[in-house]
A = this chain, B = another copy of it.
């Protein structure tokens, strides 16, 4: 096990109706003039935005609003938000939405107190200062509600990049599973795929003897595997929604990833897809991850066999463990199919002719050094091969 630090100071408030107390938490964590940041339609139509405003008003907090966050959030709205906050002396950013809204909020929070271009943070500058961020989560997926990470796409060049820093970890996050009951089964399945992917990025490691985090990873995967069909079949299943929602946080606050090398090549490969075709991140991951697994499997057949036995409940083939490893991959593919996820380029509108340029950007774009991932370090030719497996 590698040396590590673990720090997850977000105050999580979980359960029915908890968004009605959001004002108290904003006040507790230092907000007085709030930017409410959100996407669009559903937050407004469902009445959630009104309930949030009412709670802020009850606490005597003032607020301004900025809607319009889209999936794969863009830098343009971030610049707009930064200016809005500066002009209105905003001291707290409240994200009401999913991972895209939270990530956009984090970017604004860091940008407001920074003299330079906020994009610097997405080119590797550590974020050391930001306005406090709170969240009211409406989709179980990205784990941004409990993470120090943010992913933004820069329109100029369509670079999709991540930034990180303890300063943008939410001060509080309100997770009410009821708010996810109105999501389409497609959105729900994209979220489920994303949660599992966050675990896989940590699970596939070259660090040895990390049983405790292996088992925690498997705990989250087993939970999601069990609950996913229940929620796809019955979107109003609160208990299944609740288990998935909390699993989504645990999958990404890094309790499953401490003390071990992590990979993250698949996220990089996917980011090119969602940046290029604006597909849902989860849908892109459903296409990328099985291909990546197939490509790297021989690097550590035992690890894939362990996953197959412990999570996908395969029988171990003691004579040829690769059979077990492959059976596990088949079951993962079947699982993704069963929840309605795509598996091929054509399903997400991706095109063969873009492979070369996407691989180029994934490996070299915006200052990268040509190699991605760590379980198996991949160069451009590898990435091309992996993309081709998705055709």
A residues bordering B, Cβ < 8 Å?
1-16, 18, 208-213, 215-216, 218-220, 222-223, 226-227, 239-240, 242-243, 246-247, 250, 255, 258-259
Contact = CB atoms under 8 A, between A and B. Distances in A.
A240 B222 CA distance: 24
Contact of A1 (B1, B212, B239): B239
B212 A243 contact: yes
Contacts of A209: 239-240, 242-243
A16 B6 CA distance: 15
14 contacts: A1-B242, A3-B18, A5-B11, A5-B12, A6-B12, A210-B243, A212-B243, A212-B246, A213-B246, A216-B216, A216-B219, A218-B219, A246-B259, A250-B255
A247 B212 CA distance: 6
Rank and list the top 9 A-B pairs by shortest CB-CB distance, nearest first.
A3-B15, A9-B9, A215-B219, A209-B239, A219-B219, A1-B242, A6-B12, A212-B223, A212-B243
B215 A220 contact: yes
Given A219-B216, A243-B209, A3 B12 contact: no
Contacts of A227: 211
A15 B260 CA distance: 12
Given A216-B216, A255-B255, 18 more contacts: A1-B243, A1-B246, A3-B15, A3-B18, A6-B14, A7-B10, A8-B9, A208-B239, A209-B242, A211-B222, A211-B226, A212-B246, A215-B218, A215-B220, A215-B222, A215-B223, A216-B250, A219-B219
Contacts of A15: 1-4, 259
Nearest to A14: B4
Given A219-B219, A250-B216, A258-B14, A243 B211 contact: yes
Given A216-B216, A259-B242, A11 B7 contact: yes
Contacts of A7: 9-12
B258 A246 contact: yes
Contacts of A3: 14-16, 18
A225 to B, nearest CB: 10
Given A215-B220, A223-B215, A5 B14 contact: yes
A191 to B, nearest CB: 15
A13 B255 CA distance: 13
